[in-house]
C-alpha cells in the first residue's frame, strides 16, 4: 500500500509538469490481466473508476481481461458489466453443451443422453479433440458486441482498445487492434487444450497469456500517460506448496508469464492486485464471490481514483461523467447481402432454409442468434459464426463461417436402474444416409433387459418443418405384478412396436401431428402369481399428439417446460391369452372382467421448472391417463410407480416401485424442490399425490382411490450421466424403498 500511495503522489505531482510541457490533459490507460474466472474481479475496479468520474482513454487486456476490457472499451459501464457477469450462465458458455432450446424437437430427445459421442468419417472413428468450441459463447459475444459491430478499427471505440493473442504456429505475440471484435476477444481467451484456436487474419491464434498476460506496455505505446493496471494472476507457488507433478508442470508453464508480469507491473502508475488465493482460473461457479471481492478492492481504491480525477479536473477542467453507458445506439441492422463459408456436405439453400433467414430485412442481435440456433439445432453444424460488414448504403452484409458436423456419429451410454438393471446402450445416428434431408437411427440396449429400436425421419417442405417418421421397437423386459402393494409374480414381457407418424414443427419447441401404430405383447411367467396369464395380444391404434419442450437443459433443467399429450383410439385387439388360477386353467374369462373391445384413451405429462435462486429450483409435474372402456384390462392399463420413465404406459410416482398399481384412470401431481449443494451435486425432495380408478365401466365418475408419497434424492451429474440415489416412502404401502438410477435409460 505504501508503494501505491507513493506512486499516486508521484502522479499527482507530475500533473503540473504535464500541463506545462504538453498543454493538454494527460491520457489514462487501463490494463486488465488474464486469469480465467478470477478476471471477473476486474469489474470492481471498473465500478470504482466510474464512480470516481475518471475518464479512461485506452484499454488493453489479455484473455478474460480482454473480454472485460473489450466490453468497457465498447461503451459498457462497470455496473452493466457487473450485471452481465452475474447473470451469465457460465456452465453453458464454457462447455460444448448448448441450451436444449437451441435444438429441434427431434434432436432434443437424444441430446446429452450418451456419455461418449464419436464422429465416424471416411470409414474411421475420430477421437474428440478435448477442446471447447461453445456455440453459445460465440453467440453471446455477438450479442454483447452488436452495438459496435460496424467499427472495425478498435481505436474508434468509445475507449481505444487492443488485446493480445498468441500465434500457435510460431509462438509470436499478436496485437489485435482491428477487424472483428468478437473473433479478437475469443482468440485472446483461447486457452490451449481447453478452447479451440481461432483462425483470424490468416493466423491460428490462442490465448495471449502465453506471451503477455498483463499488457501494460501496450497501453503506454497507445499513448497513455498514466496507466492503471489490474492484475488477478497469482504469483508462482513457493517450494513448500509444490506437492505433486501437476503443480510442477503448472509452475514451469507460468515461469515466462510471471517474469513478464513483474516487468509490466513496474510500468503501472497505479497497480491493483487482488486477494484471490481461494479461487482458481476455473472457479466460474464462484463468479458472484469473485465479483464481490473485486468490488471490495475497488472500494478501497476509490479514494485514490477520486483524488486523481479531482486533480485532473482542477487543472484541466471537468470532464463529462463516464459512469453512464457510452454504447453506440444500434437497435437493428438491415441485411442486404450474405456470404457463406465452409459448406461441403450441405448446400447454401439448405443452410438458409434452416436459418429461416431472409434478405432485405432488419434484425437485432437476439433475432440473429435465434436464426443461428435454428440451423445449429438441426445437428448438421458444429459451429456457426457470423460477422456483419457495413455497406455504403447503410445496410450490412452478413458473413457466415460454418463448420459442419460429420454425418454419422457412434454413441455409447450406460444405465443402471433399480427396475431394469444394468445396461450398455449403443447408438448409431446418421444424417442423409438413405435420402437427402433425413436422419437414421439404430439403438440397442444390451443388459438384463434387451431392447432394440430403429427410426427413420424424412424432412420435407421449404423450411424442413414437416417430417414423416417411421420406427420399430423390439424388447424383452422383466416386470413385476402386485396385489395390495405386495409383489406377487414376475413376468417376461415381450414387446413389438411399429409406428408411423406425420408431424409439423412450427418452432424448435413445438410439434404436433397424427400417427398410427401396431403393438404386440407377449407374456411368460417367471415367478407364478395366484392368477397368471401367458400368451400374446396384438392391437392397432390411431392417435393425435402435441409435444412442447422449452427446457433449458436435458439433465437437471433450470427453467422451461415440457408437455406431451396424446389422444388416440385402440382397435382390433387380437388375443391368444391363457389364464390360470393356482395352476388351473380358467375356462370362463368373463369373470375376470377383461374387455377386448375398441376404446379411446388420452395421456398427459406436463413438467414446469422455476428458478427460485441460483441454487434452488422448484418444479411441478402433472400426469394423467384415462382409458374409456367398459372393463378394466390389465394388458393396456397404466402402471403406477418408479422415479424414472422406463417402459410403456408408466405413471411415475415417488414412493412406489414400477407397476405397483394398475388402473384405467389416474391423475397425479408432483412437487419437487432441488438444491445445488456444490457444482454438479444436488439434493432433491419430491412429494406427490394421485387419484386413480375414478371412472367406472359406464364412463361415469366414481369414488376414487388416493395415493401419497415422497422421496429424497442425492444426485451427482458427471461424465456417465446423472447418478441418483433415493429413498422413498408411500403412506398407503407404509414401506421405505431404495431407488438407484445411473445415466439416462433407453
Secondary structure of 607-646 in HEC code, one letter for each residue? EEEEECCCCEEEEEEEEEEEEECCCCCCCCCEEECECCCC
Phi, psi of 181 (to 5 degrees): -65, -35
Task: Please give the DSSP secondary-structure letter assigned to residue 89.
Answer: -
Question: What pLDDT is recorded for position 298?
Answer: 95
Mean pLDDT value of segment 164-183: 94
Rounded to the nearest 10°, the torsion over CA 144, 145, 148, 151 is 180
**254 confidence band (pLDDT: 50, 70, 90):** low
Q: What is the pLDDT of residue 572?
A: 86
Residues 6+ apart with CB under 8 A from 485: 656, 660, 730, 732, 733, 735
**What are the backbone angles phi and psi of residue 228, rounded to the nearest 5°?**
-100, 125
Dihedral sign from CA coordinates of 627, 630, 636, 641: positive
The residue written with cell numbers 482498445 in the block is 161
pLDDT tens readout for residues 448-499:
899 999 999 999 998 889 999 999 999 999 999 998 999 988 999 999 999 9
Q: Are 67 and 39 in contact (CB under 8 A)?
A: yes
Question: Is 603 in a helix, a strand, or coil?
Answer: strand
d(CA 551, CA 717): 17
Q: How far apart are CA 44 and CA 96, in angstroms?
A: 29
What does 3-53 look like in DSSP terms, one character per residue?
A: HHHHHHHHHHHHHHHHHHHH-SPPPEEEEE---GGGGGGHHHHHHHHHHHT
Q: Is 60 helix (H, G, I), strand (E, B) or coil?
A: strand
pLDDT of residue 561 exceeding 80: yes
Q: How far is CA 69 from the centre of its chain?
A: 26
pLDDT in tens, 346-388: 999 999 988 988 999 999 999 999 999 989 988 899 999 999 9
Mean pLDDT of all residues in 218-229: 96
Predicted pLDDT of residue 719: 86
**At a CB cut-off of 8 Å and minimum separation 6, what does 202 contact?**
none
Please report the pLDDT score of residue 459 as a whole number: 95
Exposure b/e, 621-651, CB count within 10 A at least 16 = b: bebbbbbebeebbebbbbbbbbbbebbbbbb
Q: In terms of Cα–Cα distance, which of 711, 637, 639 is closest to 670?
A: 711
Consecutive H or E run containing 578: strand 560-581
- Beta strands 226-231 and 28-32 are parallel
Q: Does residue 173 carry a pLDDT above 90?
A: yes
Which comes out higher in pLDDT, residue 135 or 456? 456
Among residues 376, 327, 282, 283, which one has the least CA distance to residue 144? 327
Decide: helix, strand or coil at residue 394: coil
- Do 664 and 595 touch, CB atoms closer than 8 A? no
Q: Please, which residues have CB within 8 angstroms of residue 241's CB and are 6 or more apart in sequence? A: 247
pLDDT above 90 (res 424): yes
Question: For 232-365, where are the E strands, in sequence order?
Answer: 270-273, 333-341, 361-363
| For the chain, counts of helices (H) and of strands (E) | 14, 34
Residue 4 has pLDDT above 70, yes or no: no
Q: Which helix (H) or strand (E) holds 117?
A: strand 116-121
Least confident of 137-146, 231-240, 539-548: 231-240
Residues 6+ apart with CB under 8 A from 355: 371, 372, 374, 375
* Residue that has been written with the C-alpha cell 366414481 in this structure: 702
Look at residue 653 in the predicted model and tell me its pLDDT.
98
**So what's the pLDDT on residue 237?**
55
What's the pLDDT at 238? 60
- Neighbouring-strand partners of residue 483: 486
- Higher-pLDDT residue of 513 and 112 is 513
What percent of the chain is predicted at pLDDT more than 90? 67
Q: Are strands 705-718 and 681-692 parallel, antiparallel or unpaired?
A: antiparallel
Higher pLDDT, 141 or 259: 141
Cβ proximity of 456 and 434 under 8 Å? yes
CB atoms within 10 A of CB 478: 15
Res 1: pLDDT: 43
Question: What is the distance between the alpha carbons of residues 461 and 188, in angstroms, rounded to a whole number?
Answer: 42
Supply the pLDDT for residue 6. Answer: 47
pLDDT at 285 over 90: no
Closest CA to 377 of 144, 549, 196: 549
Rounded CA-CA distance 464/349 in Å is 11
**pLDDT band at residue 630 under the 50/70/90 scheme:** low
Range of lowest pLDDT (183-197, 301-315, 397-411): 183-197
Summary mean pLDDT of the chain: 89
- The predicted model gives 550-559 an average pLDDT of 92
Angle at CA of residue 528, ends 525 and 529, nearest 5°: 120
Q: Strands 408-417, 421-431: parallel, antiparallel or unpaired by DSSP?
A: antiparallel
User: pLDDT digit string (tens) for 566-619?
Assistant: 999 999 888 888 888 888 888 777 777 777 889 999 999 999 999 999 899 999
What's the pLDDT tens digit per position in 62-96?
999 999 999 999 999 999 999 999 999 887 888 77
Specify the pairing of strand 721-730 against strand 735-742. antiparallel
Cβ atoms of 565 and 604 within 8 Å: the answer is yes
CA atoms of 498 and 558, how far apart (whole Å): 35
Q: Which three cell numbers stand for residue 181?
A: 471484435
CA–CA dist 229, 247 (Å, integer)? 27
Q: Which residue has the higher pLDDT, 243 or 74?
A: 74
For residue 516, what pLDDT is reported? 98
Nine-digit cell string for 471: 420406427
Q: Which residue has the higher pLDDT, 313 or 99?
A: 313
Fill in the DSSP letter of residue 208. Answer: G
Model pLDDT, residue 282? 84
Percent of the chain with pLDDT over 70: 91
What is the pLDDT, as a whole number, of residue 415? 95
Quote the cell numbers at residue 721: 450421466
Residues forming a β-bridge with 609: 560, 619
CA distance 687 to 710: 4
Asked whether the CA dihedral 317, 322, 324, 328 is positive or negative, the reply is positive
Q: CA 478 to CA 412: how far, in whole Å?
A: 23
Arithmetic mean of pLDDT, 321-331: 71
Distance from C-alpha of 734 to C-alpha of 649, rounded to nearest angstrom: 25
The answer to whether the beta carbons of residues 167 and 203 sit under 8 Å apart is yes
Residues in the chain: 746
Averaged over 500-528, what is the pLDDT?
A: 95
What pLDDT shows up at residue 669?
Answer: 98
Name the least confident of 228-237, 491-500, 504-513, 673-682.
228-237
What's the whole-number mean pLDDT along residues 423-428?
96
Amino acid at each position: 500500500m505504501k508503494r501505491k500511495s507513493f506512486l499516486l503522489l508521484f502522479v499527482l505531482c507530475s500533473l503540473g509538469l504535464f500541463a506545462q510541457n504538453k498543454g493538454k490533459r494527460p491520457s489514462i490507460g487501463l490494463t486488465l490481466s488474464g486469469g480465467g474466472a478470477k478476471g471477473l474481479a476486474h469489474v470492481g475496479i471498473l465500478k470504482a473508476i466510474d464512480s470516481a468520474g475518471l475518464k479512461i482513454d485506452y484499454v488493453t487486456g489479455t484473455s478474460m481481461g480482454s473480454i472485460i476490457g473489450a466490453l468497457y472499451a465498447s461503451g459498457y459501464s462497470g455496473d452493466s458489466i457487473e450485471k452481465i457477469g452475474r447473470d451469465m450462465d457460465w456452465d453453458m458458455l464454457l462447455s460444448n453443451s448448448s441450451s436444449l432450446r437451441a435444438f429441434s424437437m427431434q434432436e432434443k430427445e437424444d441430446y446429452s443422453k450418451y456419455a461418449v459421442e464419436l464422429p465416424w468419417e471416411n470409414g474411421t472413428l475420430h477421437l474428440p479433440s478435448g477442446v471447447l468450441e461453445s456455440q453459445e459463447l460465440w453467440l453471446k459475444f455477438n450479442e454483447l458486441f452488436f452495438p459496435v459491430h460496424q467499427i472495425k478499427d478498435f481505436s474508434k471505440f468509445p475507449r481505444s482498445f487492443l488485446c493480445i493473442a498468441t500465434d500457435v504456429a510460431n509462438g509470436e505475440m499478436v496485437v489485435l487492434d482491428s477487424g472483428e471484435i468478437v473473433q479478437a476477444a475469443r482468440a485472446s481467451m483461447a486457452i490451449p487444450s481447453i478452447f479451440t484456436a481461432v483462425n483470424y487474419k490468416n493466423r491460428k491464434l490462442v490465448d495471449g497469456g502465453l506471451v503477455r498476460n498483463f499488457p501494460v506496455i501496450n497501453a503506454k505505446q497507445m499513448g497513455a500517460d498514466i496507466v492503471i493496471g489490474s492484475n488477478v494472476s497469482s504469483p508462482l507457488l513457493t517450494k513448500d506448496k509444490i506437492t505433486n507433478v501437476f503443480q510442477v508442470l503448472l509452475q514451469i508453464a507460468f515461469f515466462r508469464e510471471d517474469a513478464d508480469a513483474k516487468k509490466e507491473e513496474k510500468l503501472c502508475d497505479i497497480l491493483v492486485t487482488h486477494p484471490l488465493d481461494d479461487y482458481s482460473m476455473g472457479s466460474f461457479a464462484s463468479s458472484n464471490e469473485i465479483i464481490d471481492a473485486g468490488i471490495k478492492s475497488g472500494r478501497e481504491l476509490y479514494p485514490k481514483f477520486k483524488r486523481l480525477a479531482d486533480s485532473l479536473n482542477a487543472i484541466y477542467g471537468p470532464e463529462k461523467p463516464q459512469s453512464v453507458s457510452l454504447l453506440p445506439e444500434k437497435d437493428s441492422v438491415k441485411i442486404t447481402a450474405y456470404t457463406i463459408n465452409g459448406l461441403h456436405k450441405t448446400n447454401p439453400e439448405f443452410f438458409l432454409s434452416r436459418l429461416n433467414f431472409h434478405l432485405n430485412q432488419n434484425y437485432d442481435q437476439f433475432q440473429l442468434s435465434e436464426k443461428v440456433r435454428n440451423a445449429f439445432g438441426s445437428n448438421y453444424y458444429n459451429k456457426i459464426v457470423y460477422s456483419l460488414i457495413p455497406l455504403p448504403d447503410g445496410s450490412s452484409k452478413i458473413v457466415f463461417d460454418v463448420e459442419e458436423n460429420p454425418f454419422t456419429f457412434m454413441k455409447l451410454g450406460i444405465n443402471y436402474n433399480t427396475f431394469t438393471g444394468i445396461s450398455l446402450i449403443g447408438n448409431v445416428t446418421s444424417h442423409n444416409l438413405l435420402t437427402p434431408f433425413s436422419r437414421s437411427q439404430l439403438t440397442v440396449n444390451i443388459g438384463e433387459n434387451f431392447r432394440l429400436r430403429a427410426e427413420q425421419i424424412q424432412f420435407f417442405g421449404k423450411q424442413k418443418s414437416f417430417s414423416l417418421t417411421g420406427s420399430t421397437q423390439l424388447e424383452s423386459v422383466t416386470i413385476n405384478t402386485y396385489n395390495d402393494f405386495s409383489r406377487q409374480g414376475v413376468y417376461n414381457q415381450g414387446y413389438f412396436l411399429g409406428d408411423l407418424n406425420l408431424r409439423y414443427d412450427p418452432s424448435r419447441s413445438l410439434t404436433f401431428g397424427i400417427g398410427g401404430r401396431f403393438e404386440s405383447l407377449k407374456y411368460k411367467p417367471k415367478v407364478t402369481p395366484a392368477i397368471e396369464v401367458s400368451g400374446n395380444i396384438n392391437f392397432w391404434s390411431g392417435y393425435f399428439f402435441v409435444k412442447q419442450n422449452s427446457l433449458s437443459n436435458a439433465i437437471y433443467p433450470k427453467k422451461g417446460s415440457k408437455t406431451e399429450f396424446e389422444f388416440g383410439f385402440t382397435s382390433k385387439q387380437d388375443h391368444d391369452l391363457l389364464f390360470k388360477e393356482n395352476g388351473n386353467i380358467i375356462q370362463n374369462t368373463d369373470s375376470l372382467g377383461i374387455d377386448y373391445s375398441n376404446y379411446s384413451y388420452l395421456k398427459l405429462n406436463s413438467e414446469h421448472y422455476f428458478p427460485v435462486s441460483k441454487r434452488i429450483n422448484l418444479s411441478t409435474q402433472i400426469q394423467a391417463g384415462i382409458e374409456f372402456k367398459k372393463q378394466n384390462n390389465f394388458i393396456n392399463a397404466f402402471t403406477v410407480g418408479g422415479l424414472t420413465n422406463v417402459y410403456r404406459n408408466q405413471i411415475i410416482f415417488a414412493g412406489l416401485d414400477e407397476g405397483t398399481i394398475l388402473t384405467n384412470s389416474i391423475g397425479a401431481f408432483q412437487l419437487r424442490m432441488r438444491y445445488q449443494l456444490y457444482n454438479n451435486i444436488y439434493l432433491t425432495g419430491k412429494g406427490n399425490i394421485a387419484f386413480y380408478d375414478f371412472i367406472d365401466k359406464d364412463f361415469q365418475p366414481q369414488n376414487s382411490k388416493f395415493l401419497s408419497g415422497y422421496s429424497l434424492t442425492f444426485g451427482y451429474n458427471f461424465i456417465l450421466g446423472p447418478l441418483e440415489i433415493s429413498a422413498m416412502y408411500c403412506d398407503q404401502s407404509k414401506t421405505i424403498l431404495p431407488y438407484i438410477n445411473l445415466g439416462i435409460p433407453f
